[in-house]
Amino acid sequence: MDMQVFNVAQAMAVAYDAPAAWIAAIIAKESNGEVFATANGNKLPLIRWEGHYFYQRLKGDKLAAAVAKKLASPKAGGIKNPREQADRWYKLVEPACGIDTDAAHESMSWGVGQVMGAHWKRLGFASVADLVKTACSGLYGQVDLMMRYIKEFALLDELRRGDALGFSRGYNGPKTPASYARDIERLAKEFGGEVKTAGAANMLRMGMKGAKVRELQALLNRTGAAVKVDGDFGPTTKAAVLVFQRKSGLAADGVAGPETMQALAAYRVAPDEQLGVVGPLQTAEARQGGTSAGTGVLALEAAKQVQPYVDQLNQTADKLQSLASLSDLAGYATAALYVAGGLLIIGGLVWAAAGWIRSRRTVGGV
């Protein structure tokens, strides 16, 4: 990373009381080493077009025009971004601004931090045009935009702790691959930063998943919070932990350590009450039937899929009893379908069992 980038990271470190190495690591990861787009000799911010945002912001003739020009789609990812940044500016942004400039600017992510224009009000700008002006002002403006987002979405604590897992979950959402956190951690070390937070299961924090997180969420709901008990420690769970910690006079850091869990124990019905435990058929793998992993469906669904073909073949075989060879063929095919159905059943059950085993663990290390 060049000195200009690191100098900007150091300036932001002072402004936001966060380690420069971690800010530099995020810039490096989010930008993949590229901090400007060049189009017709002009240096422009890096952008990404989100056609579903544009779709949501338009109505009537404007929406029809955007769909016709393949600039808007009701589906996230429905409009593909050209590989080259210059093409994104001239093939997407320019024609979109011709339809509705503000809606277009809100439908893009801006700068090295890939911050959506739609957040302009929450980030303290008077208009989306002001956000765009900041992003286009240079590298400092891009990083300032990124740091505003990190502060507003309560991720400064994760940076200050050197918590790559928690930061990556809060910054990029529940589907962020584990490799993102590992990359942030590696880059921060390269820039001289410290990694202070271990992935211990008794220190539940953002980015962790599993049984103990479900238990935490269930207890938080008994305190008056409204958290989905899904075993995913995300921003909503962190916010509920912070509220409980403040009410209980504990250090408010959004991490559910031993003191927080001890305070939450008062909300148990019985000391040995087991919260957050799910049955074998209540996991996501069981509900999806294993189709996401290509292992087939669960027993009932597999049987439903196979049985109509078996019935048809048996009926055909009954009609063709005088033709032994054809009847035998139908019998062989029927047997093959039963075998295939059995494999689907076994595959689905194995996938569901694996999901149940995973549900009983708590994971979160990077």
Taking every pair of C-alpha atoms in the chain, what is the biggest distance, in angstroms? 90
CA distances from 115 to 43, 95, 273 (A): 18, 21, 43
Contact 244, 264 (CB under 8 A): yes
Asked whether residue 104 carries a pLDDT value surpassing 90, the answer given is yes
Beta-strand runs (E) in 175-334: 209-210
The arithmetic mean of pLDDT across residues 34-63, rounded, is 92
Asked whether residue 254 carries a pLDDT value surpassing 70, the answer given is yes
Q: Does the predicted model carry a pTM greater than 0.75?
A: no
Report the percentage of the chain scoring pLDDT > 90: 62
Multiple choice CATH, 209-267, 1.10.101.10, 3.40.190.10, 1.10.10.60, 3.40.930.10: 1.10.101.10
Please give the distance of CA 300 from its chain centroid, rounded to a whole number. Answer: 31
The CA-to-CA distance between both ends of the chain, in Å, stands at 24
Asked whether residue 366 carries a pLDDT value surpassing 70, the answer given is no
Query: Which burial class, exposed, middle or buried, applies to 241 when counting CB atoms under 10 A from its CB (0-12, 13-18, 19+)?
Result: buried
Mean pLDDT of the chain: 83
Choose between 164 and 275: higher pLDDT: 164
CA distance 243 to 9: 31
Asked whether residue 334 carries a pLDDT value surpassing 90, the answer given is no
Choose between 348 and 118: higher pLDDT: 118
Asked whether residue 128 carries a pLDDT value surpassing 80, the answer given is yes
Please give the distance of CA 289 from its chain centroid, rounded to a whole number. Answer: 22
User: pLDDT class for 359, splitting at 50, 70, 90?
Assistant: low
Contact 58, 103 (CB under 8 A): yes
Report the percentage of the chain scoring pLDDT > 70: 73
Contact 41, 86 (CB under 8 A): no
The 3 state secondary structure assigned to 313-346 is: HHHHHHHCCCCHHHHHHHHHHHHHHHHHHHHHHH
Q: What pLDDT does 356 receive?
A: 46
CA distance 300 to 303: 5
Domain ranges of the chain: 3-190, 209-267, 284-362
CA distance 163 to 167: 6
Phi, psi (5° rounding) for residue 115? -95, 130
User: pLDDT class for 273, splitting at 50, 70, 90?
Assistant: confident
The arithmetic mean of pLDDT across residues 61-80, rounded, is 97
CA distance 288 to 347: 13
